[in-house]
């Protein structure tokens, strides 16, 4: 998506990576959207135990602590078509909701987040390298590769089909209403290009609910390679 693909960079984001810690629910002090420059995340351990932790957003990009996404009550929606009869399937959100345990528990998950389906950079730069590397992710030990977006499940399904995506390789999940994005501080508003509330462009490696690597993406075409290298480094110990 050309107009938002560089949005993160124009806001001052670089490629920010971490090999440690766990994604923390939103903090009132700072969230990733507030960062103004590329900064290496430090190993902070448990946020509550840090006596000298800076609250200056120039010093941090994302809070990492002992909390796990598994503790969240947020759910994501399976990408799906609109079913015309009960025999085809259910359109009810409750019947298609995936809890954080469904998504992360007992799995090594590579997740990349895109601002919106069907848009330029997301379609032409961010997704294709993941499609090309899907088998490599699996061979490296990843159980699930997820394409995430703040969207509805029907748009995500249509986009997946338009890309000839194999759901066995990459699972498309929708965060309808941006509940998960807001809870974990990766939400971003793109009113200037008529997209409204979405997420930043990001990727992360999650092992059994614990975030092992987190990247704020500023070069969508290189993100799959960056995350794949993080997977290999993590598996190598």
Residues belonging to the active site: 122
Q: How many residues does the chain have?
A: 237
Compute CA distances 175 → 57, 182, 236, whole Å: 26, 10, 32
Residue 50's Cα: distance from chain center in Å? 26
Beta-bridge mates of residue 109:
144, 206
Tell me how far apart the alpha carbons of residues 221 and 22 are, in angstroms, rounded to a whole number: 26
As given in the structure block, the two tokens for residue 59 are 């010093």
- Beta-sheet pairing, 22-23 with 64-65: antiparallel
């Amino acid at each position: 998506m050309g107009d938002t693909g560089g949005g993160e960079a124009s806001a001052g984001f670089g490629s920010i990576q971490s090999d440690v810690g766990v994604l923390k629910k939103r903090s009132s002090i700072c969230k990733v959207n507030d960062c103004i420059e590329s900064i290496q995340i430090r190993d902070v351990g448990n946020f509550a135990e840090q006596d000298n932790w800076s609250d200056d957003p120039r010093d941090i990009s994302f809070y990492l602590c002992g909390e796990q996404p598994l503790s969240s009550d947020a759910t994501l929606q399976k990408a799906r078509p609109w079913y015309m009869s009960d025999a085809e399937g259910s359109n009810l959100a409750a019947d298609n909701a995936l809890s954080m345990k469904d998504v992360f528990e007992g799995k090594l998950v590579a997740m990349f987040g895109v601002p919106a389906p069907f848009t330029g950079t997301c379609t032409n730069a961010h997704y294709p390298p993941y499609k090309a590397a899907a088998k490599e992710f699996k061979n490296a030990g990843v159980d699930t590769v997820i394409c995430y977006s703040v969207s509805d499940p029907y748009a995500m399904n249509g986009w997946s089909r338009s890309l000839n995506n194999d759901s066995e390789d990459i699972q498309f999940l929708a965060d309808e209403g941006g509940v998960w994005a807001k809870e974990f501080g990766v939400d971003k508003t793109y009113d200037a290009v008529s997209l409204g509330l979405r997420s930043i462009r990001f990727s992360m490696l999650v092992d059994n609910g614990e975030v092992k690597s987190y990247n704020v993406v500023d070069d969508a075409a290189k993100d799959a390679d960056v995350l794949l290298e993080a997977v290999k480094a993590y598996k190598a110990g």
